[in-house]
Amino acid sequence: MTDLSINLNKIALIRNSREGNYPDVVEFAKVCIDQGANGITVHPRPDQRHIRPDDVRRLAALVKPLTNVEFNVEGNPFAPAIGDYPGFIELVAETMPDQCTLVPDGDDQLTSDHGFDLTSSGEQLQPIIERLHSLGMRVSLFMDPDLAQIELAKEIGADRIELYTGPYAAAWGSDQLEPLFQQHLAAAELSTRLGMGVNAGHDLNLHNLAKFASIPNLLEVSIGHAFTVDSLSLGMAQTVQRYKALLG
Ligand code: PXP
C-alpha cells in the first residue's frame, strides 16, 4: 500500500489571485484528511507564488497532532530569507514536519524539473541533513533515477529518495515509457536495498499512477497539479477516493 500525500500548492495559487484567505488551504486539507489522505504536502518558495509561510504554520498546527497523517514540507534547502519568508530550513525548523523533502529548484523554474546532482551539492547538503535529523525529522531527497546518484544519497545520510516522475509522465503513451519505467524500478530497488525508502512525485495522475505504483515498496506519492484539476470536475472528496483506490 502506497501512501497518498496531497500537495495543496494550487489551492494557495488560486487564493493568491485575490486579497484575503479564500480558498483556505486548511479547509481543503481537512477535506483530504477526512477522505483518507495519508499526508499533506506543501512547497514554500521565497517568491511565495503559492504556499506562504503562514500556510505552513497553520497546516502544521492542523496535521501534526494527527497520528495517522503526515506533514511533508518540500523545497530548496538553500533558499534564503527574503522579506517575511524566513528561509526554507528556518521555516522547516520552526514548523517541524514529519518529513522534509529537499528539492534543487530555483525561483526561475516554473516547477521542480530535476533531481539533485549530489556530485556537486552533496557536501553542502550533508550538514543540512544532519541538522534536520537532529531536529527529529525524516529527510527525503528529490532524485532522478540515476543509480550512481542514489548511492551518493545514501552516503550523505538521506532516509528516503523521492523519484522525479516528470519524464515518466511525459512519456505516457510513447515507446519511451517502458525503458523509463524500468529505470525507475531499478532506482527504487537499489534505494530499498541500500535501506532508503522510496517516494515519488511530479505529474502523476489518474491515468499514469497505477503503473508507477506497481513498483514494490513505493512508500508515498505526492500529487498536486492533476489532483487539483480532477477536483474541479469530480469534487475534491471523490478525487481523493479515486487516487486512493489506485494505490490500494
Ligand atoms: N514533488 C515535488 C518535489 C514537487 O515540486 C512537486 C510539485 O510541487 C510534486 C512532487 C507534485 O507534482 P504535481 O503537482 O505535478 O503532482
Taking the CB of residue 214, how many other CB atoms lie within 10 A of it? 11
Q: Which of the residues 70, 162, 184, 202 is marked catalytic?
A: 202
Taking the CA of residue 9 as reference, the ligand 1 atom at the shortest distance is 8
74 among known catalytic residues: yes
> The domain that contains 142 carries what CATH number?
3.20.20.70
Domain assignment of residue 117, given as a range: 3-247
In the DSSP assignment, the letter for residue 85 is B
Per-residue model confidence as pLDDT tens for the chain (248 residues) = 999 999 999 999 999 999 999 999 999 999 999 999 999 999 999 999 999 999 999 999 999 999 999 999 999 999 889 999 999 999 999 999 999 999 998 777 788 789 999 999 999 999 999 999 999 999 999 999 999 999 999 999 999 999 999 999 999 999 999 999 999 999 999 999 999 999 999 999 999 999 999 999 999 999 999 999 999 999 999 999 999 999 98
pTM over 0.95: yes
CB atoms within 10 A of CB 96: 15
Which residues surround ligand 1 with Cβ inside 6 Å?
A: 7, 9, 43, 74, 101, 103, 111-112, 142, 162, 201-204, 222-226
CA distances from 3 to 48, 58, 209, 213, 223 (A): 27, 22, 12, 10, 11
Q: How many domains does the chain have?
A: 1
Q: Which atom of ligand 1 is nearest to the CA of 202?
A: 12
Tell me whether residue 207 is one of the annotated catalytic residues. no
Which residue puts its alpha carbon closest to atom 6 of ligand 1? 202
- Could you report how far apart the first and last alpha carbons of the chain are, in Å? 6
Q: Are strands 197-201 and 160-164 parallel, antiparallel or unpaired?
A: parallel
114 is a catalytic site residue: no
